[in-house]
Amino acid sequence: MARNDLQGTLDLLILKTLSQMEELHGYGIVLHIQRASDELLSVEEGSLYPALHRMEMSGWIRSEWKVTETNRKAKFYRLTPSGQREMQNAEKSFEQLVKGIRAILRYA
Amino acid sequence: MSVLRRIVNTFSRSKLHQEIDAEIQAHVEMRIADNIAAGMSPEEARHDALIRFGNRTVMRERMTAMDAATALDGFGRDLRYAARQLRRSPAFTATALVTLILGIGANVVVFSVLNAMLLRPLDVPQSSGLYNLVHKQKGYDSQSYPDYLDFQTKNSTFSYLAAYRPEIAGLSTKDAAYKCWYYRVSGNYFDVLGVQPAQGRFFHASDEHGPNSAPYIVVSNNFWRAHFNSDPRVIGTTVDINKHPFTIIGVAPPAFHGAEVFIWPDFWMPVVDNPDIEGTDFLSWRGNHNLWVLGKLKPGVTPQQATDNLNAIAHELAKQNPEDDGLDARLTKPGWLGDQFGAPARSFLAGIMLLAFLVLLAACANLASLFAARTADRGRELAIRLAIGSSRWNVLRQLLSEAVLISLLGGTLGTLFSTFLLNALTRWQPFPGFPIHVTVTAGPKVYLVAVLLSIGSGMLWGVVPMRQIWSTDSAQVMKSGGATLVFRCFTLRDLLLGVQITLCTLLVTSSFVALRGMQSSLHASLGFQPQGALLAETDLHMGGHFGDSVTQMRKRMLEEVGRIPGVTAVGIIDEKPLGTGGSGTRVYREGTADFRPSNSAFGAKYCGISPGYLQAAGTRLLSGRDFTWHDDAKSPRVAIVNELFASSMFGPANAVGRRFMWGDKLSYEIVGVVENGKYETLTEPPWAAMFLPLEQNPNSDTSLVVRSPLPSNQIVPELLRTLTQIDPSLPFVFHTWPDALAFVLFPARIATATLGVMGLLAAMLAVTGVFGMAMYSVSKRMREFGIRVAVGAQPMQLMRTALKRPVVLLLAGSVIGLLLGVVASQLLAQIVYEATPRDPLVLGGVLITMVLLGFVATWIPAQRALRIHPARLLREE
């Protein structure tokens, strides 16, 4: 069975965001997910940073301190090739999760 | 990156904290700015931004925990816990430490020696591709100078071939005279080895222009430091070598001592100067094999191609020159005076390494038993840990950390202890008067091996309790109050102990055999009586004596030394038996016309002796007469031969008065027959040998054999005075004849000492092994014994149950070990004289040792089993 826990979902959201936006800081990721999902999804800051840290440990993303447009120092994250692969896997398993859940909802 | 990052993070946790804080701070500030832009008041905006993060400290902890929970931090915790555990059981820790120190220490010592002797390439800049060129027949390792030149010019596979040979000469400066060991070497020698001078220059092939054309020497760094105070002005000055002037042109670099592992010469001299120094000219003598040849393969050439190439040349040479009949070639690794010493030394060291390794394995087996017992005793603790959620892997890792921690500690101490031993070995000069040093230093390779051995052995005995842990049923263990150890008929532990006892018996047997061999070699029939004889050795060339002068000097010496009160007999031999060298030749039957080697009768050792030598040396003359001074260079050739020579040539008939021929086509008359003896080594097979009158075998080496009932310290001063009066410039070396045998006894002494130490180690380990097992089996069955005593069991019955297993193992192991010892003794016989286990003393000694060992090991456990008080025991439970 594909890995389809909720943590995997948060990972997928972050990875996807980074693949779309190239390079982003934590706050930017929160805003992007909120905006892109039409305010349906909101990422909790308390979970975001541990997730980013863990993903960096796993080598999926890489970070760098940079200056933002508003002249603030912030840590910017960017996808690595292995993160790219991880994102494709996560996407696949998420689609299966959705398929599975939909099948159950349609049942009966 | 992540592993490095984790390590860095673990060590700088506060830095990680700061970074996380900075990142969150940036986030909060951006949120506040956006909130204000959206119309909130600064107060509100701040509150909202912060509240979204929840508990920041918890989050930060979660993030740092990801790093802290990595293996590294966990391992550190394991180690700290292990150290606490070990401190709590000092007896176990001490036993394990001592066992490991001995086991690992022995391995490190042996490996260092092995590394220094065999594995480490020669200590020269370009050591790869260097080979000694020897003959196919073992023991014939040297080449003649003309053959060397032909090999050098005709081969197509070597970049260079160099020739060298160690020799002795007298070196005198204005102020002092020394007896020196030096190398006479071909001109290209230093270039082949690729060394650069520390001072001045080296000589080269271009310096050689025929005999006596290059009167230069290069002195060794040690000699330069010791005798010239490291004075660079010594370059260009002249010294006398055997009374011939030579110019010092350079000083060798400090570590350089040529291409032989053991030999440290004082200086190097071009081989072309030999005629002046030695008084004989071997440079054009094709039959005189006395140089070692060292070659450097051309890049890309395999040793096999080179051997084929050299053999083709040898074949051609054999066709052209009758002296080269049967010439062939073989390559061998350099450093050990050809194969003669190299092959036995290599196999001996490899054997000792194997033994040392086996000893370590035995040590590990012991520790494994101990550790398994300890784990069983800690069954309850482990069960609780498993019950409250520790994973089995965690428990195992914890136990492994304990094992590895002890092993590393033991390995460190063992290495330290072996470094002391190695330093002593390096300072040791086994033979006074010989330029021999065994330089063994523990390098990085040795330390790496020590660390690997420590970790490896820790793993080895640390994983033994693995099965115990995996099969632990925590509920069961906690209920029953302690680990129930299931006794099976035969376990791995028994097997290990059995192997250990076998090994111990093997080593004990070997060391007894070696000891007995050493003892009997002191009383062996050597063909002379070393006891009660003194030797005064010199080379008359060092005093500038040649030709007739040599004979005159010898006659005077014999006369005047013979007059010293207390001297009962005195004689001269040119090359003493069982010394460092020896000469051999082929002999032919009377009437031989074609003197090619294949037509010879056999090979024989020979040396020159003076009239009176046989009496002074205590060699029995069986028939015929001794030489007289009338057997000189002008009179007919005569020889005294040994029994084997006589019987091989003439059968049982009396040989006196009969004749044989030598390769120089001269006919010799046999005037006497003497007893057989040993000539080069104690373990050699019987050799045919012949003695020639000194004047018919010109050689300037002179060993005076002085027999006297007086102690040597009384006779030596008088001897020195007398000899100094005859020629004050002659350097003499004095020693008693038994002392002079140190050289031939050396391999046997080393073998005996090593086997003795290993045997002792193995015996100690076997005792602790048997003891541990017996003790444990008694302590685990105390309750059972208590009940049995209570219902009327006799002490002997208890003993039988308690000690049956160790005793059976002891017996079986001893028998197998003894059998293996018998096999091993055949190998030992190559090194030690008359090594045989078929000797009642050896067998008895081994038996007594093993019985004693058994007693020592089982005494305390047996006492414990006998002193059981059932009432007290049952009350305690």
Domains of chain A: 6-106 (1.10.10.10)
Confidence band of B482 (pLDDT split at 50, 70, 90): very low
Residue closest to B459 by CA, chosen among B367, B359, B355, B385? B367
Across the interface, of B22, B55, B62, the residue whose CB is closest to A50 is B62
Q: How far apart are CA B249 and CA A69, in angstroms?
A: 77
Residue B281's pLDDT is 66
The answer to whether the CB atoms of B54 and A46 lie below 8 A apart is yes
Same structural domain for residues B617 and B559?
yes
**Does pLDDT of B333 surpass 60?**
yes
Interface test with A, best of B19, B27, B32, B55 (most A CBs within 10 A): B27
Same structural domain for residues B104 and B175?
no
Q: State the burial class of residue B473 (Cβ atoms within 10 Å of its Cβ: 0-12, 13-18, 19+).
A: exposed
Confidence band of A3 (pLDDT split at 50, 70, 90): very low
> Residues of A with CB below 8 A from B19's CB?
75
Q: How far apart are CA B331 and CA B302, in angstroms?
A: 11
Domain that holds residue B358: 75-122+341-486
Residue B492's pLDDT is 67
Average pLDDT over residues B220-244: 87
The answer to whether the CB atoms of A49 and B67 lie below 8 A apart is no
**Does pLDDT of B483 surpass 80?**
no
Confidence band of B490 (pLDDT split at 50, 70, 90): low
The phi and psi torsions of B675 (rounded to 5 degrees) equal -65, 160
**Does pLDDT of B806 surpass 70?**
yes
Average pLDDT over residues B203-219: 84
Across the interface, of A27, A57, A75, the residue whose CB is closest to B2 is A57
Across the interface, of B1, B2, B29, the residue whose CB is closest to A72 is B29
Which range, B120-134, B420-434, B797-811, has the best average confidence (pLDDT)?
B797-811
Mean pLDDT of chain B: 81
The answer to whether the CB atoms of B53 and A25 lie below 8 A apart is no
Residue A1's pLDDT is 38
> Residues of B with CB below 8 A from A45's CB?
27, 52-54
Q: How far apart are CA B752 and CA B761, in angstroms?
A: 14
Across the interface, of A50, A73, A75, the residue whose CB is closest to B63 is A50
Average pLDDT over residues B864-877: 71
Average pLDDT over residues B721-744: 82
User: What letter represents residue B374's amino acid?
Assistant: R
CA distance B378 to chain A (A): 38
**Does pLDDT of B568 surpass 90?**
yes
Average pLDDT over residues B719-736: 84
User: How many residues belong to chain A?
Assistant: 108
Q: Strand B733-736 to strand B533-539: parallel, antiparallel, or no bridges (unpaired)?
A: antiparallel
Residue B137's pLDDT is 73
Q: How many domains does chain B have?
A: 5
Q: How far apart are CA B525 and CA B644, in angstroms?
A: 14
Q: Which residues of B touch A (CB under 8 A)?
A: 1-2, 5-6, 19-20, 22-24, 26-27, 29-31, 33, 52-55, 59, 62-63, 66-67
> Residues of A with CB below 8 A from B2's CB?
57-59
CA distance B419 to chain A (A): 44
Same structural domain for residues B855 and B870?
yes
Same structural domain for residues B692 and B646?
yes
The answer to whether the CB atoms of A26 and B2 lie below 8 A apart is no
CA distance A72 to chain B (A): 7
Task: Give counts: helices (H), strands (E), chain B.
Answer: 28, 21
Stronger pLDDT, B354 or B470, i.e. the higher one: B354
Average pLDDT over residues B433-453: 77
Which range, A56-60, B108-112, B558-562, has the best average confidence (pLDDT)?
B558-562
Interface test with B, best of A30, A44, A45, A56 (most B CBs within 10 A): A45
Pull the structure tokens for residue B106.
């022995």
Name every residue whose Cβ is closer than 8 Å to that of residue B132 and which is 6 or more positions away in sequence.
B141, B292, B293, B294, B295, B331, B332, B333, B334, B338, B339
Across the interface, of B19, B31, B66, the residue whose CB is closest to A57 is B66
Residue B66's pLDDT is 66
Across the interface, of A49, A68, A72, the residue whose CB is closest to B63 is A49
pLDDT in tens, B59-74: 777 776 666 555 555 6
Same structural domain for residues B694 and B833?
no
- Domain boundary, last residue among B689, B718, B739: B739
Residue B1's pLDDT is 43
Same structural domain for residues B456 and B553?
no
With a pLDDT cut of 70, the percent of chain A lying above it is: 92
**Which residues, in sequence order, are bridge partners of residue B692?**
B608
| Packing angle, helices B339-377 and B492-522, rounded to 10 | 140
**ipTM of model:** 0.88
- Domain boundary, last residue among B715, B739, B763: B739
Q: Strand B267-270 to strand B177-185: parallel, antiparallel, or no bridges (unpaired)?
A: parallel
With a pLDDT cut of 70, the percent of chain B lying above it is: 88
The answer to whether the CB atoms of A26 and B23 lie below 8 A apart is yes
Residue A7's pLDDT is 56
Helix, strand or coil, per DSSP, at residue B145: helix
Q: How far apart are CA A101 and CA A97, in angstroms?
A: 6
Residue B874's pLDDT is 65
User: What letter represents residue B748's amino acid?
Assistant: A
Same structural domain for residues B255 and B135?
yes
Confidence band of B729 (pLDDT split at 50, 70, 90): confident
> Residues of B with CB below 8 A from A68's CB?
30
> Residues of B with CB below 8 A from A46's CB?
52-55, 59
Stronger pLDDT, B831 or B784, i.e. the higher one: B784
Terminal alpha carbon distance of chain B: 58
Residue B302's pLDDT is 87
- Domain boundary, last residue among B334, B354, B375: B334
Confidence band of A4 (pLDDT split at 50, 70, 90): very low
Residue B705's pLDDT is 94
Average pLDDT over residues B807-812: 87
**Does pLDDT of B165 surpass 90?**
no
Average pLDDT over residues B257-273: 84
Name every residue whose Cβ is closer than 8 Å to that of residue B263 and which is 6 or more positions away in sequence.
B166, B181, B257, B435, B436
Strand order in the sheet with A61-67: A23-25, A73-79, A61-67
Same structural domain for residues B285 and B138?
yes
**DSSP code string of B109-121:** HHHHHHIIIIISP
CB atoms within 10 A of CB B828: 25
Name every residue whose Cβ is closer than 8 Å to that of residue B306 and which is 6 or more positions away in sequence.
B131, B155, B157, B158, B295, B297, B331
**Does pLDDT of B688 surpass 70?**
yes
Name residue, tokens 């025991």. Answer: B873
pLDDT in tens, B28-60: 888 898 889 888 888 988 888 888 877 777 777
> Residues of B with CB below 8 A from A44's CB?
52, 54
Q: How far apart are CA B513 and CA B273, in angstroms?
A: 48
Residue closest to B661 by CA, chosen among B609, B594, B607, B598? B594
Average pLDDT over residues B425-434: 67
Same structural domain for residues B61 and B79?
no
Terminal alpha carbon distance of chain A: 23
**Does pLDDT of B215 surpass 80?**
yes
Pull the structure tokens for residue B394.
């965690």
The answer to whether the CB atoms of A49 and B55 lie below 8 A apart is no
| Closest chain A CA to residue B20 | A49
Same structural domain for residues B610 and B669?
yes
Average pLDDT over residues B796-818: 84
**Does pLDDT of B487 surpass 50?**
no
CA angle B325, B330, B333 (to 5 degrees): 145
| Closest chain B CA to residue A64 | B23
**Does pLDDT of B673 surpass 90?**
yes
Interface test with A, best of B4, B30, B32 (most A CBs within 10 A): B30
The answer to whether the CB atoms of B30 and A74 lie below 8 A apart is yes
pLDDT in tens, B368-415: 777 777 777 777 777 787 777 677 777 787 888 888 888 888 889 988
Across the interface, of A27, A44, A57, the residue whose CB is closest to B27 is A27
Same structural domain for residues B732 and B745?
no
Same structural domain for residues B443 and B330?
no
**Does pLDDT of B752 surpass 60?**
yes
